Structure 1
Amino acid sequence: MDMVVSNLQQQRAVTEQLRREAGIKRIPVSQAVEEIIKYISEHEQEDCLLVGFSNQRVNPFREKSPCTII
Protein backbone atom coordinates (compact mmCIF):
# COMPACT_ATOMS: atom_id res chain seq x y z
CA MET A 1 0.00 0.00 0.00
CA ASP A 2 2.88 2.35 0.77
CA MET A 3 4.23 1.82 -2.75
CA VAL A 4 0.91 2.91 -4.24
CA VAL A 5 0.82 6.08 -2.11
CA SER A 6 4.45 6.86 -2.91
CA ASN A 7 3.88 6.30 -6.63
CA LEU A 8 0.78 8.51 -6.53
CA GLN A 9 2.75 11.30 -4.82
CA GLN A 10 5.49 11.05 -7.44
CA GLN A 11 2.93 11.26 -10.24
CA ARG A 12 1.32 14.31 -8.65
CA ALA A 13 4.71 16.00 -8.37
CA VAL A 14 5.44 15.25 -12.04
CA THR A 15 2.02 16.58 -13.04
CA GLU A 16 2.56 19.81 -11.09
CA GLN A 17 5.99 20.28 -12.68
CA LEU A 18 4.52 19.77 -16.15
CA ARG A 19 1.78 22.32 -15.38
CA ARG A 20 4.41 24.87 -14.29
CA GLU A 21 6.44 24.26 -17.44
CA ALA A 22 3.34 24.55 -19.64
CA GLY A 23 2.66 27.97 -18.11
CA ILE A 24 6.05 29.39 -19.09
CA LYS A 25 5.86 32.10 -21.76
CA ARG A 26 7.60 30.87 -24.89
CA ILE A 27 9.08 32.88 -27.73
CA PRO A 28 10.42 31.81 -31.11
CA VAL A 29 14.14 31.07 -31.30
CA SER A 30 14.58 33.75 -33.97
CA GLN A 31 13.20 36.38 -31.58
CA ALA A 32 15.40 35.15 -28.71
CA VAL A 33 18.49 35.32 -30.93
CA GLU A 34 17.65 38.88 -31.99
CA GLU A 35 17.26 39.90 -28.33
CA ILE A 36 20.59 38.28 -27.41
CA ILE A 37 22.39 40.03 -30.27
CA LYS A 38 20.81 43.36 -29.27
CA TYR A 39 21.85 42.88 -25.63
CA ILE A 40 25.42 41.99 -26.60
CA SER A 41 25.69 44.98 -28.93
CA GLU A 42 24.39 47.36 -26.26
CA HIS A 43 26.77 46.06 -23.57
CA GLU A 44 29.94 45.29 -25.52
CA GLN A 45 31.71 48.45 -24.29
CA GLU A 46 31.29 47.22 -20.71
CA ASP A 47 32.72 43.77 -21.47
CA CYS A 48 36.27 43.63 -20.15
CA LEU A 49 37.06 40.53 -22.17
CA LEU A 50 36.35 42.49 -25.38
CA VAL A 51 37.80 45.93 -24.59
CA GLY A 52 40.39 44.99 -22.01
CA PHE A 53 41.00 46.39 -18.55
CA SER A 54 41.80 50.00 -17.74
CA ASN A 55 44.32 48.86 -15.13
CA GLN A 56 46.05 45.49 -14.75
CA ARG A 57 45.32 45.50 -11.01
CA VAL A 58 41.59 45.12 -11.67
CA ASN A 59 42.18 42.21 -14.05
CA PRO A 60 41.19 39.00 -12.24
CA PHE A 61 42.82 36.94 -15.01
CA ARG A 62 46.32 38.45 -14.68
CA GLU A 63 49.16 36.18 -13.76
CA LYS A 64 49.79 36.16 -10.06
CA SER A 65 53.20 37.09 -8.79
CA PRO A 66 55.15 34.02 -7.67
CA CYS A 67 55.81 33.45 -4.00
CA THR A 68 59.37 33.83 -2.86
CA ILE A 69 60.75 31.95 0.10
CA ILE A 70 63.40 33.71 2.11
Structure 2
Amino acid sequence: MSNIQQQREVVEQLRREASIKRISVSQAIEDIKKFILEKECEDYLMIGFSSERANPFREKSWSCQII
Protein backbone atom coordinates (compact mmCIF):
# COMPACT_ATOMS: atom_id res chain seq x y z
CA MET A 1 0.00 0.00 0.00
CA SER A 2 1.45 3.32 -1.01
CA ASN A 3 1.98 6.21 1.31
CA ILE A 4 -0.66 8.27 -0.53
CA GLN A 5 -3.24 5.50 -0.10
CA GLN A 6 -2.46 5.27 3.62
CA GLN A 7 -2.85 9.02 4.02
CA ARG A 8 -6.20 8.93 2.18
CA GLU A 9 -7.45 6.24 4.58
CA VAL A 10 -6.32 8.35 7.54
CA VAL A 11 -8.15 11.39 6.14
CA GLU A 12 -11.32 9.32 5.57
CA GLN A 13 -11.16 8.01 9.13
CA LEU A 14 -10.74 11.53 10.48
CA ARG A 15 -13.74 12.70 8.44
CA ARG A 16 -15.87 9.87 9.86
CA GLU A 17 -14.80 10.77 13.39
CA ALA A 18 -15.47 14.47 12.80
CA SER A 19 -19.03 13.72 11.65
CA ILE A 20 -19.95 11.92 14.88
CA LYS A 21 -22.53 13.84 16.92
CA ARG A 22 -20.99 14.95 20.19
CA ILE A 23 -22.62 16.00 23.45
CA SER A 24 -21.15 17.70 26.45
CA VAL A 25 -19.82 15.66 29.35
CA SER A 26 -22.37 17.18 31.73
CA GLN A 27 -25.21 16.05 29.44
CA ALA A 28 -23.71 12.56 29.15
CA ILE A 29 -23.47 12.31 32.94
CA GLU A 30 -27.11 13.34 33.33
CA ASP A 31 -28.14 10.70 30.78
CA ILE A 32 -26.14 8.02 32.61
CA LYS A 33 -27.65 9.03 35.97
CA LYS A 34 -31.15 8.90 34.50
CA PHE A 35 -30.51 5.45 33.02
CA ILE A 36 -29.15 4.12 36.32
CA LEU A 37 -32.11 5.43 38.30
CA GLU A 38 -34.57 3.93 35.78
CA LYS A 39 -32.91 0.48 35.97
CA GLU A 40 -32.24 0.51 39.72
CA CYS A 41 -35.29 -1.60 40.54
CA GLU A 42 -34.03 -4.37 38.19
CA ASP A 43 -30.47 -4.44 39.57
CA TYR A 44 -29.96 -7.52 41.72
CA LEU A 45 -26.76 -6.09 43.16
CA MET A 46 -28.88 -3.31 44.67
CA ILE A 47 -32.05 -5.16 45.68
CA GLY A 48 -30.81 -8.72 46.09
CA PHE A 49 -32.67 -11.88 45.15
CA SER A 50 -36.11 -12.86 46.41
CA SER A 51 -34.74 -16.15 47.71
CA GLU A 52 -31.43 -17.98 47.86
CA ARG A 53 -32.67 -20.42 45.20
CA ALA A 54 -33.36 -17.57 42.78
CA ASN A 55 -29.69 -16.53 42.87
CA PRO A 56 -27.93 -18.14 39.86
CA PHE A 57 -24.55 -17.13 41.33
CA ARG A 58 -24.94 -18.87 44.68
CA GLU A 59 -22.32 -21.38 45.72
CA LYS A 60 -23.34 -24.87 44.86
CA SER A 61 -23.36 -27.30 47.72
CA TRP A 62 -21.53 -30.40 46.76
CA SER A 63 -21.96 -33.50 48.83
CA CYS A 64 -19.76 -36.53 48.75
CA GLN A 65 -21.49 -39.76 47.91
CA ILE A 66 -19.97 -43.17 48.37
CA ILE A 67 -21.23 -45.82 46.03
Question: TM-score normalised to the size of structure 2?
Answer: 0.77
Is 1:49 matched up with 2:49?
Answer: no
Please report how far the alpha carbon of residue 51 of structure 1 lies from its aligned counterpart in structure 2 after TM superposition.
0.6
Please report how far the alpha carbon of residue 28 of structure 1 lies from its aligned counterpart in structure 2 after TM superposition.
0.5
Q: Which has the higher helix share?
A: 1
Uncovered stretches (5+) of structure 2, i.e. residues with no partner: none
Residue 9 (structure 1) aligns with: 5
Task: Please give the secondary structure, in 1, of the residue aligned with 2:46.
Answer: helix
Q: Following superposition of structure 1 onto structure 2, how do residues 11-50 of structure 1 map, counting pairs within 5 Å?
A: 11-50=7-46
**Percent of paired sites with the same residue:** 65
The 1:59–1:14 alpha-carbon spacing in structure 2 relative to 1, beyond 3 Å, is farther
Uncovered stretches (5+) of structure 1, i.e. residues with no partner: none
Instruction: Output the CA distance in 1 between the equivalents of 2:11 and 2:54.
Output: 49
Instruction: Output the CA distance in 2 between the equivalents of 1:61 and 1:52.
Output: 12
Instruction: Output the CA distance in 2 between the equivalents of 1:14 and 1:58.
Output: 51
Instruction: Output the CA distance in 2 between the equivalents of 1:51 and 1:26.
Output: 34
